[in-house]
Structure 1
Amino acid sequence: MFNLFIMMMERVGLIILLAYLLVNVSYFKIILLNRGWLSSKFQLMAIFTLFAIISNFTGVEITENKIISTDFLTVLSDNASIANTRTLAIGVSGLIGGPVVGIGVGLLAGMHRVIQGGGTSLFYLFSSSLVGIFSGLVGDRFARKNQFPSPIQAAGIGALMELVQMLFVFIFSGTFAEGWLLVKFIAFPMVLLNSIGTFIFLSIITSTLKQEEQMRAVQTHDVLELAAKTLPYFREGLTENSCREVAKIIKKYTKVAAISMTDTHQILAHVGAGSDHHIPELEVITELSRDVLKTGQLAIAKSKIQIGCSNPSCQLSAAIVIPLTSKKEVVGTLKMYFTDATKLTHVEEQLAEGLGAIFSSQLELGEAEIQSKLLKDAEIKSLQAQVNPHFFFNAMNTISALMRQNSEQARILLLQLSTYFRANLQGARQVLIPLTAELKHVEAYLSLEQARFPQRYQVNFKIDSDLDALLLPPFLLQVLVENAIRHAFGNRKVDNQIVVQLTKQVHTVAIEVRDNGIGISPDRLEKIGKEAIESEKGTGTALDNLNKRLVGLFGSASQLHFFQNETGGTTVLLTIPIEEER
């Protein structure tokens, strides 16, 4: 029995060696990870059937409880039995592939065992199939949870499956006495070694897959971190500056020899080996890159010839070229270069494909943000263009009357009217203007208004001295001052005071326009600036328009706020971030 135990250990070692080799082959890993697929089941069936048949061929022949031969067994002698690891292979196949794989391997392995015995001992066909079904049902329960049995659980199942086999041997091996002697001779080493072999087999598989998952987790973490760091640059689009920074980040995280990025016609960045001749601003020089730009398909080169670089001293010997797309159109390429072609593995190919998808999404997102910003700018400029000089005809009538009485003053007013309209035109084309330009606009408006109603309004400006370069939306102060003049005082002709105050804070500027007028009724105070309010002197859209522009530019924190003054009148308050003209 001891000799048989040692010899069986050698056979178990052979099966375990095959298992170790298989789980370190990428192709087999893919089959294991996708064991639920029908194609994977057939492939697993073929692999484990081969294992089981090898077990039959390498078994130990036994006659009358004596070891007869250890040669390669193609055909057994009459009345001979065989101790082998067939049950181990069938049991593991079921635990990994489920009942379909288990019964398939069991039938084929049992059939081979019957043929090997010269057509006798048909019970091996049924016992092997039964082992395959039982182990497959157990494996299926774990597969539904996307798990494998633990090595301890597998060892117990392996021992149980061998006991099933021993039961068939005991029942169908001649007489009761013959069956008992054979089972007593082979049962202990076969049950023990089958259990140990199943334990080791599952240990190899589960530990290898666990390492694979850990590697993927680390890789996923790195990819997510990489994506987070490249996103701000991809938002800028494919420019030399953004691509240079992106290439540095990708090279740092992927540890490839070089990273290159192109648009549809030229190299935008190249970081790493080969940077002496793969120079930004040169045209896309390799046929490989041109093919990717044309087809939109990822391409792999595993030699210098396939890369197509014309420089004889180029160190780059392998490459992955990934298309970068936006709105289903190829807009550029990302190239990962290797100086050692053996480092271009399936893992790198998968990583490259994933990065291509992420970066293409980021480019599309960046383009969408740019388009959104352009649309928002267009909307804001459209709103600005609606700020019409509704007092135009009144101003012209005033100038016409002054031409007969005071031609010099009429000339000055014409110049102020020109300044006013020039500011309107410029404001309709710009999103932000300097404070000095806005104050000239307000001054021109007040000059025209004061000419119609001399000394009726007093407007005082209180502005911190270091705000001359402040940028603010066009017509901001002009609309607030005009609104106060038109609506704050009713028909009152004297003591109409307006104060415009700009106070610099840490990161913002507080803008306040207050008057000492008649105030606003509570029902209107809740609606003003949020919707158009009809009045006798206008449509009420100016403040609503201004509020929309402020929120569009700076967010809700910069919207208009209206308050009733305790002493009478209204205060309009808002804050805008400090942006200065460069």
Structure 2
Amino acid sequence: MFALLPLMLERVGILIIVAFILSRMKSFRQVIHNERGIAAKVTIIAIFGAFGIISNYTGVEIGHGMVTSQDWLTDVDSTGAIANTRIMGVVIGGLLGGPMIGIGVGLIAGLHRLSLGGFTAIACAVSTIFAGVVTGFLSKRFKIQESGSTSKAVIMGILMECLQMGIILILAKPFDEALNLVKLIAFPMIAINGLGTLLFLLIIQDIFKEQERTRALQTHKALYIANQTLPFFRKGLNMDSCTKAAEIILKWTGADAIAITNQQQVLAHVGAGCDHHLPSGTMATELTKKVLDRGKIIIAKSAAEIRCFNSNCPLEAAIVLPLKVYNKTVGTLKLYFTHSSKLDRVEQELAEGLGKLFSGQLEMAELERQRRLLKDAEIKALQAQVHPHFLFNAINTISSLVRKDADQARKLLIQLSVFFRSNLQGARQMLIPLEKELEHVEAYLSIEQARFPGRYEVKFEIDPSLEEVLIPPFTLQPLVENAIRYAFSKAQTGTVLVRAFQDEGGMILITEDNGKGVPLEKLEILGNQTVQSADGTGTALWNIKKRIEEIYGSHASFQINSIVDKGTSVVIKLPLTGQTWGEESVKSIYRG
């Protein structure tokens, strides 16, 4: 019995070496990963069936209780038997692939063993087929790719070997010979097949773990690429952003060329074939048109499938992915390869992951664009809330001056023109220079002081270095208007002071008066909501605070201070560095 152990170990070693060599082969790995397909299942049946046949041929012949041969076995004496590792391949095949593979491998190995003859031929064939059936139907419970199932699978292999010993005792005749045979081969075959099954499973598991490691690496790479390209795709699909994104993708993938299109044209193409795959040109391949029409990934493994109009195009393989925004295909991402062998499963999975991530980024860009449009619309609506009666009052004032003081009337008409030009400018632009806002204030004051001469005095203390700093329009003018209209009683002559200076890296704008002030209960409401009052609704203050919050967020502040019978001040702090929620958007709006 113990003399048989090293011989059996040699046989297991042969199969393990073959298994290791197969595990290094790309085709074998692909079959293992795609065992659900019919073609893959047939291949696995053939591979593990071949293991069973090799086990039969390399088995150790036993005759009359003695080891009688160590040669390559093609025929067994009618009184002889074989000690081999056949069950090992059947068990692993069944556990790996399920019932179809288990039965198929069991039939191949079992029928081949039957063809070799010997008094245990029928028993061994039956036990082999039975092992394939049992392990095939138990494959879902013993998942080989899970490390925790290794010991269970090894135990299953040992049990199948024990079952084979039992079937030999039941079916092989004469019984005495069968009993002596089992005594001789049981321990070596059970122990060596258990060891072989363990080693074989470790090789198979390594394939699955390597796939997981590869997927983790690809996921990390995809997320890194997505992070690098995020600033560009968030700007939408345009030639500049897509070119920069394509350069990043080319650097971090195994592709030979990267192209990005919208629905009409090529926006970027970097790498091989850039001499004729030109940005801003029409679609160079029919493949891209198909993806845009179908909205599904298409893989081409030959130049003929790519169908480039240039016969000298070096690109021989491609994967074209749709870029979608809300399930609508808005463009494509194309990874090109100069050799079809480069487009393997790893590159396909990476490309598919990138396509989904980039589509998500484009959706974020669209959401951001819609959010900005909505905010812009809200701000424009707030800016449009100008008191309409001011126009009528100004016209009445100018009309009364036409006969008495034509020169003054002419000056007021010019100031009225400046005032409404500032209104139009504020409605079109989100930010304007401080000096333009001051012109707006002065135009307003010219008209009001013509209506109520000597009732108030307005002073300006403006840091000249701040005149070009951008601020939201309708920031100071409504504050000055509020002070004039509500701060002073009719019999009171008041003073309004407008100041602008730098402090702690920001610009401070203060509008203060020496009027009657605001009671504490109203002060807590002003700027946060509108109120119903004979002295005004607080709409202007709420309007200004709302716009500052929308544009600058937490980088700016708006504060109202007031003491009854002492006066009121409104303090606004704005950033000087353009730290806003949409600096580029604001700049583009201002330029436009």
Aligning the two structures, in what range does the TM-score lie when normalised by the shorter sequence? 0.7 to 0.9
Per-residue deviation, 1:139: 6.4
Evaluate the alpha carbon distance shift between residue 571 and residue 2 of structure 1 in structure 2; reply closer, same or farther with a 3 A threshold.
same
CA contact (8 A) 1:292 1:333 kept: yes
Corresponding residue number in structure 2 for 1:553: 551
CA distance in 2, matches of 1:298, 1:217: 22
Corresponding residue number in structure 2 for 1:502: 500
CA distance in 2, matches of 1:370, 1:161: 65
Corresponding residue number in structure 1 for 2:582: none
CA distance in 2, matches of 1:462, 1:72: 109
1:67 aligns with 2:65: no
CA contact (8 A) 2:555 2:575 kept: no
Corresponding residue number in structure 1 for 2:242: 243
Corresponding residue number in structure 1 for 2:358: 359
Matched AA of 2:68: I
* C-alpha distance after superposition, 1:162-207 (max 9, x if no partner): 3443344356544664334212332343223212211221111112
Q: Which moved more, 1:565-574 or 1:370-379?
A: 565-574
Matched AA of 1:221: H
Corresponding residue number in structure 1 for 2:284: 285
CA contact (8 A) 2:120 2:168 kept: no
CA distance in 2, matches of 1:506, 1:271: 47
For structure 2, the 5+ residue unaligned runs are 579-586
Q: Which moved more, 1:64-73 or 1:506-515?
A: 64-73
Per-residue deviation, 1:254: 0.3
User: Secondary structure of 1:560's match?
Assistant: strand
* C-alpha distance after superposition, 1:466-514 (max 9, x if no partner): 11211111111111111222222244522x2222222224553222222
Evaluate the alpha carbon distance shift between residue 274 and residue 44 of structure 1 in structure 2; reply closer, same or farther with a 3 A threshold.
closer
Corresponding residue number in structure 2 for 1:530: 528
Corresponding residue number in structure 2 for 1:303: 302
Corresponding residue number in structure 2 for 1:471: 470
Per-residue deviation, 1:460: 1.9
Evaluate the alpha carbon distance shift between residue 192 and residue 143 of structure 1 in structure 2; reply closer, same or farther with a 3 A threshold.
closer
User: Secondary structure of 1:211's match?
Assistant: helix
CA contact (8 A) 2:80 2:118 kept: no
1:257 aligns with 2:227: no
User: Secondary structure of 2:465's match?
Assistant: coil
Q: What is the count of residue pairs matched by the alignment?
A: 579
CA contact (8 A) 2:219 2:350 kept: no
User: Secondary structure of 1:249's match?
Assistant: helix
Matched AA of 1:459: V
Q: Which moved more, 1:18-27 or 1:362-371?
A: 18-27
Per-residue deviation, 1:87: 1.9
* C-alpha distance after superposition, 1:523-574 (max 9, x if no partner): 2112111111122143432222222222221114435322224982222122
CA contact (8 A) 1:498 1:516 kept: yes
Per-residue deviation, 1:374: 1.8
Identity rate of aligned residues, in percent? 47
Matched AA of 2:92: V
1:540 aligns with 2:551: no
Per-residue deviation, 1:286: 2.4
| Equivalences for residues 29-40 of structure 1 within 5 A | none
CA distance in 1, matches of 2:487, 2:68: 116
User: Secondary structure of 2:278's match?
Assistant: coil
Q: Which moved more, 1:418-427 or 1:118-127?
A: 118-127
Evaluate the alpha carbon distance shift between residue 160 and residue 232 of structure 1 in structure 2; reply closer, same or farther with a 3 A threshold.
same
Matched AA of 2:549: V
Evaluate the alpha carbon distance shift between residue 526 and residue 16 of structure 1 in structure 2; reply closer, same or farther with a 3 A threshold.
same
Corresponding residue number in structure 1 for 2:397: 398
Evaluate the alpha carbon distance shift between residue 511 and residue 16 of structure 1 in structure 2; reply closer, same or farther with a 3 A threshold.
same
Two-structure CA RMSD over aligned residues (Å): 3.7
Evaluate the alpha carbon distance shift between residue 101 and residue 564 of structure 1 in structure 2; reply closer, same or farther with a 3 A threshold.
farther
> TM-score, normalized by length of structure 1?
0.86
* C-alpha distance after superposition, 1:413-460 (max 9, x if no partner): 122122112211221122111212111111111111111221222222
Q: In structure 2, which of residues 560, 575, 578 is the aligned counterpart of residue 577 of structure 1?
A: 575
Corresponding residue number in structure 1 for 2:584: none
Q: Which moved more, 1:291-300 or 1:353-362?
A: 291-300
Corresponding residue number in structure 2 for 1:382: 381
* C-alpha distance after superposition, 1:285-337 (max 9, x if no partner): 22333333333333333333433345455433322222223333332222222
> TM-score, normalized by length of structure 2?
0.85
CA distance in 2, matches of 1:247, 1:41: 39
For structure 1, the 5+ residue unaligned runs are none
Q: Which moved more, 1:265-274 or 1:477-486?
A: 265-274
